[in-house]
């Protein structure tokens, strides 16, 4: 993994989203801007693709990312956005919302994946597996994952019976069985197979 090559005073943001494959809850994106020095510090602390880290490790990295980042922001797409737009466009919307909360706007956005963000109005570069290549994107993946997981754990208390604190909204066997027996909640994605029709 590396930091993006920085020109002096160039503000580069990494953006990533989590929750695309879930049956429940929003898609959450984070955007993170790092100085080269902050990127090196976070690399030494173990910042990498959030999927490669344990929940405890991810939680432990949130504070240093937030402290060392030049700027960071979160954005989300609701289940209504997901069912209205489809999951790909909702994911891009969440990333747009995160990036537009950065102030001042970045000079370049490194977007995880191969889909450019339409109508972003900022220079961007897509990076396949970017959360394993650029520290900015990896840090964003951690912030988005931890924030979303905390939200789903809170929603588990509101919607008991779906084992959300364990499955984080993904389609585990217990979650799918609960959908069959209890039906969908207002936070289930009705456009997704197994969640009921829109």
- Answer whether 149's CB lies under 8 Å from 167's CB: no
User: Would you say residue 162 lies in a domain?
Assistant: no
Rounded to two decimals, what is the model's pTM? 0.94
Give the structural domain span for 120: 12-147
Average pLDDT value for residue range 68-90: 97
User: Would you say residue 97 lies in a domain?
Assistant: yes
- pLDDT tens-digit profile of 110-163? 999 999 999 999 999 999 999 999 999 999 999 999 999 999 999 999 999 999
The edge-to-edge listing of strands for the beta sheet with 27-33 is 71-77, 27-33, 12-18, 108-112, 124-127
Pseudo-torsion of CA 182, 83, 128, 42, nearest 10°? -70
User: Would you say residue 56 lies in a domain?
Assistant: yes
pLDDT at 198: 39
CATH number reported for the structural domain that contains residue 115 in this entry: 3.30.420.10
User: Would you say residue 186 lies in a domain?
Assistant: no
Confidence tier at 14 by pLDDT (50, 70, 90): very high
Structural domains counted in the chain = 1
CA–CA gap between residue 116 and residue 65 (Å, rounded): 25
Query: For residue 5, which of 113, 133, 141 has the smallest C-alpha distance?
Result: 133
Residues 6+ apart with CB under 8 A from 186: 79
User: Would you say residue 160 lies in a domain?
Assistant: no
- pLDDT tens-digit profile of 162-172? 999 999 999 99
User: Would you say residue 82 lies in a domain?
Assistant: yes
Secondary structure (3-state) at 126: strand
User: Would you say residue 92 lies in a domain?
Assistant: yes
- pLDDT tens-digit profile of 16-66? 999 999 999 999 999 999 999 999 999 999 999 999 999 999 999 999 999
């Amino acid at each position: 993994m590396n930091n993006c090559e920085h020109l002096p005073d160039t503000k580069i943001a990494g953006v990533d989203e989590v929750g695309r494959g879930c049956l429940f809850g929003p898609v959450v994106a984070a955007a993170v801007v790092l100085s080269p020095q902050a990127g090196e510090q976070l690399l030494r602390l173990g910042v990498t693709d959030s999927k490669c880290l344990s929940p405890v490790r991810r939680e432990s990295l949130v504070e240093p990312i937030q402290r060392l980042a030049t700027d960071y922001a979160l954005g989300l797409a609701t289940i209504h956005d997901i069912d209205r737009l489809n999951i790909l466009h909702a994911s891009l919307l969440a990333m747009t919302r995160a990036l537009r909360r950065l102030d001042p706007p970045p000079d370049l956005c490194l977007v995880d994946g191969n889909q450019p963000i339409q109508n972003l109005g900022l220079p961007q570069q897509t990076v396949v597996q970017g959360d394993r290549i650029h520290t900015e994107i990896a840090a964003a993946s951690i912030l988005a994952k931890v924030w979303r997981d905390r939200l789903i754990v809170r929603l588990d208390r509101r919607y008991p019976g779906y084992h959300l604190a364990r499955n984080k909204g993904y389609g585990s066997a217990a979650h799918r069985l609960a959908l069959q027996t209890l039906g969908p909640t207002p936070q289930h994605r009705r456009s997704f197979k197994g969640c009921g029709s829109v």
